Amino acid sequence: MPTLLIWHGYRFRFYASDGPEPPHVHIVKEGSTAKVWLRHLSVSYNRGYNERELRELLAVVAENRDDWIGTWNAFFGV
């Protein structure tokens, strides 16, 4: 499970079993989790983050999206 970034305690990662899906990132902190599709910056699910947190997290994803899609492609051999 590659961890892409740890930012203010939030872990941005994907899992080795995620390969068949489009590129996305899971964001995990203290029992809360969200899944964000990288290409469209849309939230697949959000369990526990409030709107302010989610906006901040989406900004971090947007800032790193291109690098993370490259990491995804390299990891999964796309």
Largest interatomic CA distance in the chain: 35
Name the E strands within the chain.
Answer: 3-7, 10-13, 24-29, 32-37, 42-47
Question: In this structure, what token pair is assigned to residue 59?
Answer: 């900004």
The pLDDT, as a whole number, for residue 23 is 97
The closest alpha carbon to 47, from 39, 57, 38, 60, belongs to 57
Q: Where are the domains of the chain?
A: 3-76
pLDDT tens series, the chain, 78 aa: 789 999 999 999 999 999 999 999 999 999 999 999 999 999 999 999 999 999 999 999 999 999 999 999 999 988
